[in-house]
Structure 1
Amino acid sequence: LFYEVLDRVSQDYYDKSKIDATKLLHGAINGMLGSLDDPYTSFFPPKQNDEFKDQLAGEFQGIGAELSLSPEGRVMVVAPLDDSPAQKAGIRAGDLVLKVNNEETAGWTVARAVEKIRGPKGTTVELSVLHEKQKDSVTVKIVRDVIVIKSVQGWEKRFLCEKDCQENKSGDLVAYIRLSQFGDKTNNEWISTVNSINEKIRGQKNFRGIVLDLRNNPGGYLNDAVFIASEFLNSGVVVIQEDASKQQEAINVSRRGTLLDSPLIVLINKGSASASEIVAGALRDHNRAKLFGEKTFGKGTIQQAIDVDRGASVHVSVARWLTPDGEWINKKGIEPDTKVEFDASKSSKLKSKLDNQLDAAIKELLK
């Protein structure tokens, strides 16, 4: 049937200039996968496949935003990357991208959206964006740049907290680890950051705990999520994987961590998705951490990237994942133990360089 239709269209279509065998084939593949009504099962043509791999490797050119499809099938921002042109332009987790360069995005795949939005450093893309809980869209012009992703950053500082927290040499010591994605370099960057923090906090009697920041972390590799969670858990299940035959596999702590006993608060928000939700869910279910912030994205499936002919790839949802307690968070997300909505106006008034959510987490550790 497929080849019959392809032959008839190729032979009989009135405008031969529009007949491109590759585009017809890619369109057919997108249609087939689209019938599954799964935004995470998708086809990546060669160019988009290379760009996806570049992002996981930590460097690409574009605006720096992780994209998906909303439940209604609209192009949606999962999270802007840290210090990216998208973040600096005011793009937020949960934004709907209605137009790209005045072209409607209705019916687009994620791969098509990525193709249209990405581009060389120094070029400009215009997006029509609808923020959550807003009635009217806004138009944003963003200059593309080289995006270099350092997936792990950390510091240790001393704070005194009264009305708000301020750095003070006589204050109590808090460590902060920011994890922005789970990519090719994440584990090595994590080890380096944690080793540095351990050197600074070792033997400090007034060390009060750690803030793990998973906000706007769109996810990445499952194995990396298990590696990170194992830093904080002595033993037990990190995540349960359930395949198409409903067979479940419990994936356990994979190594001996070095931050097993430190008080821990995890920051989450609507941009925390997939692998970051695996980490947050595991730490919550083991009562190892308190979750602060806002409800997470709600992506509860696992994809396998399969390289196919001519440099393309197909990303297929091969399993769903459950938290250690057996909860499937897909389309629901994970609720924080303490809800703290991000407030830009409050954050700008803080004397420290903290935002209001991070300020609340540090206050909790210093109680």
Structure 2
Amino acid sequence: MKAKRSYLLLALALLAPIALLARPDGDRVATRADAGVVPMGPTADQSTAAKLVYGILSDSRYAYRPLPLDDALSQDVYKHYLDALDPSKQFFTAKDIEGFMPLATRLDEAIKSGQLTPAYDIFSVYRKRVGERVAHARSLVKDDHFDFTTDERWEYDREQAPWAKDSGELDELWRKSVMNDWLRLKMAGKKPEAIVQTLDKRYANLQRSVEELDSEDVFQTFLNAYTSAVDPHTDYFTPKTAEQFNQQMSLSLEGIGAVLQRQDDMVVIREIVPGGPADLSRKLQPGARIVGVAQGDGALTDVVGWRIDDVVELIRGKKGTRVRIEFIPPEGGVDGPPSTVTIVRDKVQLAEQAAKSEIMTLPASGREPERRIGVIKLPTFYQDFEGRRRNPNDYTSATRDVRRLLDGFKTQNIDGVVMDLRANGGGSLDEAVDLTGLFIDQGPVVQVRESGGRVSVSGDTAQGVSWDGPLAVLINRASASASEIFAGAIQDYGRGLVIGENSFGKGTVQNLVDLDRWPANEGRRRFGQLKLTIAQFFRVAGGSTQHKGVVPDIAFPASIDATEYGEDTYPNALPWTRIAGVSHTQYGNFAPLLPRLETLHQARARTDKEFQWWLEDVAYFRDQAAKKYVSLNEAERRAERDRQETLRKQRQEERKRLGLPLDPLAADLSDDGLGASERDIIKDVAREKLAEKRPDPLLRESAAILGDAITVLSQDKTLSAQVLPESTTPSSWAD
């Protein structure tokens, strides 16, 4: 997991194949387009940055768990670096690894001194091996001789596999990999000529992407091998990636408001942000290919063949400035006539990641009346830190947005609220505290223990609440950090039910340190930022979420194998521990109610077709993942594909018969054999939008469980008195 916060940071993965156009600071780096293989070597600024990072991570005044950078840690850095370059062991041979071994205990001195040549030496070999493997793969594609009638299989999970002993063993490994790529396209209906063209281009693009990596890319990869060897949530950001990180946290940027994706030699518009400058221009649209960029009335720069981040660097700019973009409309094809548009940059709000609400209606059944449950989906605990400093009364904030949605619910006769935090990897610690304050009336929310052992308590100090009625929190294995603080506090206070899967188990706090604040750099961005673990957080009851996560009151079957994903999969993660609890209000004790809710849930789940289908799918995909291989026998693969397609059709027909919502992707779930950059962008985005409308049995069941709780407590006064003491019962829980 990766974290996202400007001061106190909590985990959130920041992996995306697209780039957002945003405001730059400093000069644009030189383009790598058409430059061939870029010479590798550290810059003076990188040497300084490495020494700064070492100084911070080895100092107990900064790091929660400082580690000496010695030969033992150097070997861990070495292992992390190899894993970052070649995680599937498809490029290096055992002989390469043997040649690297003398460097394994020299990387500590390289970092301390800033003499980083060993890291670049390893990368140079890696880049050469990629070229060799790609050449071999392309030769296999052009000489189609694959036999798909054998019992061969492609072992794709090679994390624990030994390094290939020589190039011949790698040839065999790649033969099976190419066979799998070919078979996927063949089963998707592609003709041999089209398959050859697609795969040849795919492998050529792989080599080009590696050749385009520059010194900054290699430096960040290597330094993150060091930071991750120290702690799984410590990361180094170059100036460019630090800016992107902060934009994601603020949900805002200054630019034209477009999402870009690279396809072959061109950068293409994937999405237009509604209401942004590009949208208001009425000229740019998804699928448009950008071929030239100019600042104001300046000369156009041809950007065909450029890296996507270099194109972004040209297009983004300060609010109020003009950028001129030359593009080929999507209907014009690759060689169509270009058009030009001039756009005035502005501040753009990234609404897709903001809190959203919906209302679910649970029909009356037996003694249960109709219930209206408000759902708030929160993808991340975001906050615009710069905006808050400029104007504390007007800034982007998860809590402010959720408060607005809760106020809206009050006028819509809502019986209860479900906070959906599935896949919410965290964000701002302040937001986790403030959001909890919308549901409790003053009190501690989280305890934070620093490296020296000092424990501080953060809590809600504002009087009153935004919602005092029935509440449930829905979590899954990907709910982490700030999500765990919020869910844990709601559970400890007895303020609401926690439903779903065990959460991720991240119980540490990170701080973002600007490395440019030390050396005299005349205000330029030179050294980047370091996100490091500075503390551990604990629930108000005293327990940590580290490793164990938040255990739900009503549990759904695990959709992800905990041995594959979660804090306890990191060998160097902090252990679980606990400290003394702090005094807090106990709004309720749901323990006496849980057996009744579990019985009602299980009875409903047994007859809920969509829930049962979800259980079947989870079991199927976990079984497939556990195999760690796919068959290269075409008949076997087609039979399995046909079974899945038949199953989807049967389910869709049953949906029609039962009057259930149809699955908008039922006819579009077969493997097309393509990668993200190979698909038609317009169709791919449309498919993503449809995916958001797919039936969600887990959310509906969570709402039903909350409805059960409301009904049971309103009808069983004795149980209600046990669960919700009269002195602290929010009036609308038991109606």
1:79 matched residue in structure 2: none
| 1:23–1:338 Cα change, 3 Å | closer
Q: How does 1:124-143 map to 2 (within 5 A)?
A: none
Letter in 2 for 1:323: R
1:50 matched residue in structure 2: 243
Q: Secondary structure of the equivalent of 2:512? A: strand
1:331 matched residue in structure 2: 547
| 1:61–1:321 Cα change, 3 Å | farther
Contact 1:161 1:366 in 2 (8 A): no
Q: Secondary structure of the equivalent of 1:149? A: helix
Q: Secondary structure of the equivalent of 2:484? A: helix
Q: Secondary structure of the equivalent of 1:314? A: strand
1:351 matched residue in structure 2: 660
Q: Does 1:295 align with 2:511?
A: no
Q: For 1:120 and 1:356, how far apart are their aligned partners in 2? A: 42
Contact 1:242 1:319 in 2 (8 A): yes
CA shift, 1:329, in A, is 1.3
Q: Secondary structure of the equivalent of 2:415? A: strand
Q: Does 1:304 align with 2:511?
A: yes
1:97-155 Cα distance to aligned partner (Å, 9 max, x none): xxxxxxxxxxxxxxxxxxx999989xxxxxxxxxxxxxxxxxxxxxxxx9753321113
CA shift, 1:358, in A, is 1.6
1:162-216 Cα distance to aligned partner (Å, 9 max, x none): 59x9xxxx83222111111111222332232122112223xxxxx4311111111
Q: Secondary structure of the equivalent of 2:353? A: coil
**Which range moves more in the overlay, 210-219 or 147-156?**
147-156
1:151 matched residue in structure 2: 354
Contact 2:220 2:237 in 1 (8 A): no
Q: For 2:702 and 2:216, how far apart are their aligned partners in 1? A: 52
Letter in 2 for 1:232: F
Q: How does 1:195-344 map to 2 (within 5 A)?
A: 195-201=407-413, 207-309=414-516, 310=525, 312-341=528-557
Letter in 2 for 1:193: L
Higher strand share: 1
| 1:233–1:9 Cα change, 3 Å | closer
1:315-365 Cα distance to aligned partner (Å, 9 max, x none): 011110001111111122111111123658349858257522222222223
**Which range moves more in the overlay, 349-358 or 173-182?**
349-358
Q: Does 1:188 align with 2:400?
A: yes
| 1:363–1:301 Cα change, 3 Å | same
| 1:159–1:47 Cα change, 3 Å | same
1:247-282 Cα distance to aligned partner (Å, 9 max, x none): 111112232343453011110001111101100000
2:702 corresponds, among 349, 361, 366, to: 361
| 1:231–1:273 Cα change, 3 Å | same
Contact 1:61 1:118 in 2 (8 A): no
CA shift, 1:23, in A, is 6.8
CA shift, 1:242, in A, is 0.5
Q: For 2:458 and 2:112, how far apart are their aligned partners in 1? A: 46
Q: For 1:4 and 1:277, how far apart are their aligned partners in 2? A: 36
Contact 1:41 1:316 in 2 (8 A): yes
Q: For 2:116 and 2:245, how far apart are their aligned partners in 1? A: 35
| 1:238–1:8 Cα change, 3 Å | closer
| 1:161–1:301 Cα change, 3 Å | farther
Letter in 1 for 2:224: N
CA shift, 1:4, in A, is 9.0
2:377 matched residue in structure 1: 178
Q: Does 1:30 align with 2:30?
A: no
CA shift, 1:61, in A, is 4.6
Identity %: 25
Q: For 2:702 and 2:548, how far apart are their aligned partners in 1? A: 24
Q: Secondary structure of the equivalent of 1:304? A: strand
| 1:24–1:361 Cα change, 3 Å | closer
| 1:278–1:62 Cα change, 3 Å | farther
| 1:118–1:187 Cα change, 3 Å | farther
| TM-score, normalised via structure 1 length | 0.64
Q: Secondary structure of the equivalent of 2:495? A: coil
Greater Rg, structure 1 or structure 2?
2
Q: For 1:4 and 1:314, how far apart are their aligned partners in 2? A: 16
CA shift, 1:30, in A, is 3.5
Structure 1 unaligned blocks of 5 or more: 64-115, 122-145, 202-206
CA shift, 1:26, in A, is 4.8
Q: Secondary structure of the equivalent of 1:321? A: strand
| TM-score, normalised via structure 2 length | 0.34
Aligned residues: 276
Contact 1:225 1:278 in 2 (8 A): yes
Q: For 2:534 and 2:700, how far apart are their aligned partners in 1? A: 39
**Which range moves more in the overlay, 250-259 or 190-199?**
250-259
Q: Secondary structure of the equivalent of 2:503? A: coil
CA shift, 1:2, in A, is 4.9
Q: Secondary structure of the equivalent of 2:363? A: strand
Higher helix share: 2
